Amino acid sequence: MSSNKKYVYLFQEGKAEMKDLLGGKGANLAEMTNIGLPVPPGLTITTEACNEYYLVGKKFPEGLEEQLQQGLKDLENQIGKRFGHQDNPLLVSVRSGAKISMPGMMDTILNLGLNDITVQGLIKSTNNERFALDCYRRFIQMFGDVAMGVPHHEYEEILSTVKEEQEVKFDHQLTVESLHNIIAQYKELYQKHTGEAFPQEPYQQLLLAIKAVFGSWNSERAIVYRKHNKIPDDLGTAVNVQAMVFGNMGDDCGTGVAFTRNPSTGEKKLYGEYLINAQGEDVVAGIRTPLPISSLEQDMPIVYQQFVSISQLLEKHYRDMQDIEFTVERGKLYILQTRNGKRTAAAAIKIAVDMVHEGLITKEEAMLRVDAKQINQVLHPRIDTTVKLDVIATGLPASPGAASGSVVFDADEAEKLGKEGQKVILVRTETTPDDIHGLVMSQGVLTSRGGMTSHAAVVARGMGKPAVCGCEGIKIDYQQKLFTVGAYTLKEGDVISIDGSTGHVMLGQVPTLAPELGGDFAEFLGWADEIRTLGVRANADTPEDAKKAREFGAAGIGLTRTEHMFMQQERLPFVQQMIMAETAEERQKALDKLLEFQQEDFYGILKEMEGYPVCIRLLDPPLHEFLPNREELLVEITRLKCTGGDPALIKEKETLLKKVESLHEFNPMLGHRGCRLGITYPEIYAMQARAIFQATAQLTKEGVKAIPEVEIPLVIHVNELAFLRNQTIEIAEQVMAETGVKFEYTVGTMIEVPRAALTADEVAREADFFSFGTNDLTQTTFGFSRDDAEGKFLQHYIDRKVLKENPFVTIDPYSVGKLMDMAVKLGRSTKPGLLIGICGEHGGDPESIEICYKLGLDFVSCSAFRVPIARLAAAQAAVKHPR
């Protein structure tokens, strides 16, 4: 191999762009060095050296050793210490560093350069014999374990035996003698396993360590990892050799961590803490109380000034708030690490807005500085996490936000107390449409059964109320009006708190923080609106929902679920009457009554959304959902019969049961619902269409611009849509004729079953718009029902990494996303420019929104409370994937 190849780069010779040659870590250390940071000096051995090492049969390529020795000399000169020097020894760390970060690779070796002589130098310079000996002990262990394959547990056995003999519990309690004892035993262990004495020569230590790093590139772990992650085998790894620095050599030393801005509030002011005469881990360990970073100005004025300007430099260079680790060794400041600092959502927004104003970043960049998912934090009251919490149970985090209140087990009671101004939490095994009035007046809801799509969860999310569902730990006794959980028993009136973002249930009142939606937040989302091309609508079932939707910035309603209206307490009897009707007149009477209600609903929503489109989905769920539960009826009838109940009542219940039985389904999700109802009972959809158009005509007369979009659910074949579209158009024309008012409307369809997606070119012939229902599409594409999967095996799948994530939270791009892509392309092949959106929970998930943007959708729709998230996520997608 050519000897004039450069295999060794001092940090100052590299730069960020040289990742191929220096690896990721080496390139970054070089970058930091070159922007003027006082990084402990070091050198990087190139990936090329690693590859040639293998090419020539695991030998150092010609020239490498000479360059390494020269590099070490440069290092010694820079730091003023010498490798192997008895008073002032240079100690180094050795780390691997491939181009792509690989967790399967070699760990770090610290304190390389220590031996029986240099450890004396460390004792002198730190004035801490225990510390120096402990470093030596650790070095022997790390070197033996990581570089030479001496079994880790054998070291640990020696260590614990000595600790037992000394009757101490923690490492730092070991005496100097014990440490000498351990070091001696470690050396023996090393010799036993390697057949050679522990190397005392630092340069020899270094060569062995470098070979070990090269070797780790082809360890089994690393090969498997590369195979799994499709990383080429011929990249090779670099080796980083960096001088060690110590913050615990005396009072002119120290160590600390600081953020360039406040990570909780975003305020532009250094925020952090440090310790004098301490090591990095001491700050974290909490044995001594660190001082606020501002005190450093008194303690070490020069270092402080230096640090302030470095932190400014770093912010400018990385154009983001930095989280900086530093060490001061004998008055000299070293920067050990800098990275973008973690922050709360509120801080993230403030920092992004400030940095735009400071001219540091563009609005587009600002978008990427806030985690869209995190925005939830600022939209709901949240638990003050600085307070200790008594978590007594954990359920599913079904609807975000936190709330406290008295336990109530009954919807009527909840409504009563709520109206009296009392704060209550409704606790039920599960909720039904009969409980809605109680839910409305509660602070939140807790159920012991049901998943993320249970009635309680869906309704609570719609209302923006916290909900914890499927909390199986709690056992409710309605008769005694109490619930037990573990050792606790909570009676009606006892106060609990729930956190719908974590699923926690807590004893007593818990302090919460209110959301802040003005100022920076509004400005930030305003920019998001300027940047994004994807529309954002909200799902809304009532005029109140619609109002909220507008407040949160939704430009339309993407989904109005008419069944939620059917389930309201005063309407349900008429819905049941419609289902139970034995004559056409009886049925029409019920439908007429429902028509009134529905017209009122649609009038309210369309008015609230003046000038914006409102997509109204016709009835979707199977009719048996509106009737009493089958099992309960069976049990009740059996009980009535056994106990000689009223024959008339028994007969009535049996009639009801007969109807319930006739509507019973084995798989309701795959049953007689959606447009299948529309086809078999055309009068129901006809009534709904009439209600929509009568409301529209009424508003038009009043000078209010109403834009209804009639949506047909669960279509699998264009013929279904054609039939129902024609009926809808006929009714619209009738209403126009009757009222003498002209109005605009469209008729479109949900794409929520694979067949609709696969035949979208056909379906598009009859559709003015598509709206993806990806919850159902996920259920059918995966062949599992959300309730059953989440209740039974989905968590197991995710824990075992069978699935990477819950496909109901984020669209699976490989299946559902693929079908969506086909549907978009097929649909627009028939109708270029066809309006296509998505409604349902994925519409509020940032990753799914990015997928929707990439697929070319026109809008996403989500619950009102997620609209800000969607606005930001849509802007982020536009920034990430410019068109």
Residue positions annotated with a catalytic role: 455, 839
Of 84, 104, 628, 671, which lies in the binding site for a second copy, with binding defined by CB under 8 A? Answer: 671
Nearer to a second copy, 616 or 724 (CB): 724
Nearer to a second copy, 38 or 817 (CB): 817
DSSP state of 4: T
Q: Is 366 left (phi over 0), alpha (psi -120 to 50) or beta?
A: alpha
Q: What crossing angle do the helices spanning 118-126 and 129-142 adopt, rounded to 10°?
A: 140
298 lies in the binding site for a second copy (CB under 8 A): no
Q: Which segment (232-240, 462-470, 477-485, 790-798) binds a second copy by CB under 8 A?
A: 790-798
What are the tokens at 743?
């109005």
Of 755, 828, 831, 854, which lies in the binding site for a second copy, with binding defined by CB under 8 A? Answer: 755
495 CB-side CA count, 13 A: 10
Please report which helix (H) or strand (E) contains residue 704, including its range: none
Residue 233: what are its φ and ψ, rounded to 5°?
-80, -15
What is the C-alpha separation between 28 and 22, in angstroms, rounded?
9
What is the C-alpha separation between 406 and 782, in angstroms, rounded?
41
Nearer to a second copy, 602 or 723 (CB): 723
Q: Which segment (384-392, 412-420, 537-545, 668-676) binds a second copy by CB under 8 A?
A: 668-676
Nearer to a second copy, 60 or 784 (CB): 784
DSSP bridge pairs for 391: 506
What is the total count of residues that contact a second copy (CB under 8 A)? Answer: 56
716 lies in the binding site for a second copy (CB under 8 A): yes
669 lies in the binding site for a second copy (CB under 8 A): yes
753 lies in the binding site for a second copy (CB under 8 A): yes
Identify whether the C-beta of residue 56 lies closer than 8 Å to the C-beta of residue 3: no
727 lies in the binding site for a second copy (CB under 8 A): no
Give me the amino acid identity at 862: C
680 lies in the binding site for a second copy (CB under 8 A): yes
> Minimal distance in Å, beta carbon 126 to a second copy?
51
545 lies in the binding site for a second copy (CB under 8 A): no
> Minimal distance in Å, beta carbon 642 to a second copy?
3
Nearer to a second copy, 68 or 811 (CB): 811
What are the tokens at 528?
């998001």
What is the C-alpha separation between 285 and 282, in angstroms, rounded?
5
679 lies in the binding site for a second copy (CB under 8 A): yes
- 568-598 CB burial, b ≥16 within 10 A, e <16: beebbebbbbbbeeeeeeebeebbebbbebb
> Minimal distance in Å, beta carbon 453 to a second copy?
10
The two beta strands, 291-292 and 271-276, are: antiparallel
Q: Which segment (13-21, 384-392, 661-669, 853-861) binds a second copy by CB under 8 A?
A: 661-669
Of 315, 620, 752, 858, which lies in the binding site for a second copy, with binding defined by CB under 8 A? Answer: 752
> Minimal distance in Å, beta carbon 773 to a second copy?
10
* Residues whose CB is less than 8 angstroms from the CB of residue 739 and which lie 6 or more positions away in sequence, other chains included: 694, 697, 698, 701
Nearer to a second copy, 448 or 700 (CB): 448
Order of strands, sheet of 488-491, starting from the edge strand that comes earlier in the sequence: 475-477, 482-485, 488-491
Output the CA torsion sign for 423, 428, 432, 434.
negative
What is the C-alpha separation between 701 and 697, in angstroms, rounded?
6
Q: What is the DSSP track for 324-371?
A: EEEEEETTEEEEEEEEEPP--HHHHHHHHHHHHHTTSS-HHHHHHTS-
Nearer to a second copy, 109 or 824 (CB): 824
Q: How big is the chain, counted in residues?
A: 883
> Minimal distance in Å, beta carbon 835 to a second copy?
23
Nearer to a second copy, 439 or 789 (CB): 789
Q: Which segment (41-49, 289-297, 560-568, 791-799) binds a second copy by CB under 8 A?
A: 791-799
Q: Which segment (251-259, 408-416, 713-721, 738-746) binds a second copy by CB under 8 A?
A: 713-721
Distance of CA 643 to the CA centre of its chain: 55
Identify whether the C-beta of residue 725 lies closer than 8 Å to the C-beta of residue 766: yes
Site of tokens 């729930």: 498
Q: Which segment (463-471, 546-554, 698-706, 782-790) binds a second copy by CB under 8 A?
A: 782-790
Nearer to a second copy, 391 or 722 (CB): 722
2 lies in the binding site for a second copy (CB under 8 A): no
What is the C-alpha separation between 8 and 13, in angstroms, rounded?
9
What is the C-alpha separation between 490 and 492, in angstroms, rounded?
7
Of 172, 339, 792, 881, which lies in the binding site for a second copy, with binding defined by CB under 8 A? Answer: 792
Of 74, 654, 768, 787, which lies in the binding site for a second copy, with binding defined by CB under 8 A? Answer: 787
Taking alpha carbons only, the member of 777, 696, 767 closest to residue 735 is 696
Nearer to a second copy, 517 or 802 (CB): 802
Site for a second copy in 588-647 (CB under 8 A): 630-631, 634-635, 638-639, 642-643
> HEC states along 735-746?
HHHHHCCCCCCE
Nearer to a second copy, 55 or 809 (CB): 809
Site of tokens 């953020």: 259
Q: Which segment (106-114, 327-335, 353-361, 787-795) binds a second copy by CB under 8 A?
A: 787-795
650 lies in the binding site for a second copy (CB under 8 A): no
355 lies in the binding site for a second copy (CB under 8 A): no
Residues 30, 33, 39: CA angle, nearest 5 degrees? 115
Taking alpha carbons only, the member of 692, 678, 556, 706 closest to residue 622 is 678
> Minimal distance in Å, beta carbon 643 to a second copy?
6
> Minimal distance in Å, beta carbon 759 to a second copy?
5
Of 10, 484, 797, 856, which lies in the binding site for a second copy, with binding defined by CB under 8 A? Answer: 797
Identify whether the C-beta of residue 562 lies closer than 8 Å to the C-beta of residue 617: yes
Window 248-277: contact mask with a second copy (x via CB under 8 A): ------------------------------
656 lies in the binding site for a second copy (CB under 8 A): no
DSSP state of 197: P
Of 717, 828, 831, 854, which lies in the binding site for a second copy, with binding defined by CB under 8 A? Answer: 717
Window 166-185: contact mask with a second copy (x via CB under 8 A): --------------------
What is the C-alpha separation between 686 and 591, in angstroms, rounded?
10
Q: Which residues bind a second copy (CB under 8 A)?
A: 630-631, 634-635, 638-639, 642-643, 665-672, 676, 679-680, 714, 716-717, 719-720, 723, 752-755, 758-759, 762, 776, 779-785, 787-789, 792-793, 796-797, 800-803, 812, 814-815, 818-819
